[in-house]
Amino acid sequence: MDRIEEFRQDEGVSMPLAEAGWESQGELFPVTQNLPVPVPGYLPVAAEPAAEPAILVENLGKRYGSQWAVDDVSFSVPRGATVGLLGGNGAGKTTTIAMIMGLVIPTIGRASVLGHDMARSRFKVLKRMNFESPYVAMPAKLSVRENLTVFGRLYGVPQLKSRITELVEEFDLGDVLDKATGQLSAGQKTRVSVAKALLNDPEVLLLDEPTASLDPDRAEWVRGCLRKYQRRRNAAILLSSHNMHEVEELCDYVVIMSYGRIAEIGTPQELIRRYECDSLDEVFFVIAREQEEGEGEHWQDEAS
């Protein structure tokens, strides 16, 4: 029995659990005009107007007790587009992403990925999507090679050794390939996490701080790799990041959440013009202040 099989038995990892748990206004899009509920958003140039969105979030909500963590959120991500999901701590981003991944069941509404309702049939689509976060640790005792092999087997990646070799070269992981993952620097772990997310050649990619802990040159290099991958695969990307420079550079449009609701939506440049700011950073702070002074207090009162 090799170390990977020992790890899977010791940890009790089963195929479905690993796949599900480890990856632990303008006008409507033309494609969504026939829906019974409005889906706000903007159609990026790269998107196919006649195609079904890769991610479709319709009136999504999650309540814990009397508190709505997410309340009536709607947006879509076309194939080939990158959408930024922004918001401060407690805004509802993590819960929204968890519902899109099928890890949390919505109280109301629906999150669909590649035409599948994630609350009902997520296992039909999990092998066609992936998730990256440097804050979700991989098994520390396994080497980088072993971790990539574990996840590659779970996703049923064909010609896995060849695929790992490609990603190791692309993300410059050769020097750490046989090093225990727990011994890596924060920046090295980030690169391994992004490589893992691309293992199965996903059509839908959920990214949480994909360049965290990287120096500016490495961060720009990783962003270039992601753009290159997206063009080749026509992948839909949902990006959560506190790096507004990164959001401006990568995103076709952004969804800004506050107190569980969508506070603003638009292209980065459109929002900068609308709020008469010099950068998306400034826009974010202006919206945050407005929400705290107005609607945020209202929702806090509702919850009390």
The tens digit of pLDDT for each residue in 281-290 reads: 999 999 988 8
With cut-offs at 50, 70 and 90, classify the pLDDT of residue 42.
very low
> 155-158 — which CB contacts under 8 Å span 24+ positions?
155/19, 155/127, 155/130, 155/199, 155/200, 156/127, 156/200, 157/199, 157/200, 157/201
The answer on pLDDT for 220 being more than 90 is yes
With cut-offs at 50, 70 and 90, classify the pLDDT of residue 135.
confident
Q: How many domains does the chain have?
A: 2
Which residue segment(s) compose the domain that 160 sits in?
A: 136-201
Residue 277: count other Cβ atoms within 10 Å of its Cβ: 15
For residues 197 and 211, state if they share a domain.
Answer: no
Q: What is the average per-residue pLDDT within 210-222?
A: 93
The answer on pLDDT for 300 being more than 60 is no
For residues 90 and 186, state if they share a domain.
Answer: no
The answer on pLDDT for 263 being more than 60 is yes
For residues 115 and 251, state if they share a domain.
Answer: yes
For residues 142 and 252, state if they share a domain.
Answer: no
For residues 216 and 287, state if they share a domain.
Answer: yes
pLDDT at 128: 97
Judge whether 120 lies within some domain. Answer: yes
Judge whether 286 lies within some domain. Answer: yes
For residues 124 and 220, state if they share a domain.
Answer: yes
Judge whether 23 lies within some domain. Answer: no
Judge whether 26 lies within some domain. Answer: no
For residues 184 and 235, state if they share a domain.
Answer: no
For residues 77 and 213, state if they share a domain.
Answer: yes
Judge whether 236 lies within some domain. Answer: yes
| CATH code for position 219 | 3.40.50.300
Specify the pTM.
Answer: 0.80
**CA 145 – CA 154 distance, rounded (Å):** 14
pLDDT at 205: 98
pLDDT at 176: 97
The answer on pLDDT for 12 being more than 80 is no
Judge whether 250 lies within some domain. Answer: yes
Judge whether 169 lies within some domain. Answer: yes
Which of 33-47, 143-157, 285-299 shows the lowest per-residue confidence on average (mean pLDDT)? Answer: 33-47
- Looking at the chain, the whole-number percentage of residues with pLDDT higher than 70 is 80
Q: How high does pLDDT run on average in the chain? A: 84
